[in-house]
Amino acid sequence: MKEDAAKSKVATNTTESRAESRAAGGEQPAPATYAQIVERLETLVQAMEAGELPLEASLETFAEGVQLIKQGEKILAEAEQRIEQLLASGEVAPLHLPGT
């Protein structure tokens, strides 16, 4: 049942995103937050692991996943850079955990 729901959700989102993309004359807007990216990736992985998507839908799903991973990596790199800036400026003290 979960697999069918995930497959249906991906198929619906893929169909909707294609229609929205054509209507807007561009690509589907990217998820706005890291949490949204992770949530969407989980949905895509579930659908692909079910193994019931047609080849073209699998390729589209995989391509979307690759783009989401790139977006997530960019967000994480920006967060890491911000943390390094804060630590370098002395605004935040480094965290020292017991036993480290």
* 100 within a domain of the structure (yes/no): no
Integer Cα distance of 38 and 65 in angstroms: 10
* 19 within a domain of the structure (yes/no): yes
In tens digits, what is the pLDDT along the chain, a chain of 100 residues?
Answer: 555 555 555 555 554 444 333 223 345 566 789 999 999 999 999 999 999 999 999 999 999 999 999 999 999 999 999 988 888 887 766 667 777 5
- Residues 69, 41 contacting (CB under 8 angstroms): yes
- Residues 90, 97 contacting (CB under 8 angstroms): no
Domain total of the chain = 1
* 76 within a domain of the structure (yes/no): yes
* 56 within a domain of the structure (yes/no): yes
* 98 within a domain of the structure (yes/no): no
* 50 within a domain of the structure (yes/no): yes
Alpha helices in the chain (DSSP H): 2-24, 34-50, 55-89
- For residue 30, the enclosing domain spans 2-83
| Backbone dihedral angles phi then psi of residue 95, each to the nearest 5 degrees | -85, 125
* 25 Rama sector, left if φ>0, alpha if ψ -120 to 50, beta otherwise: left
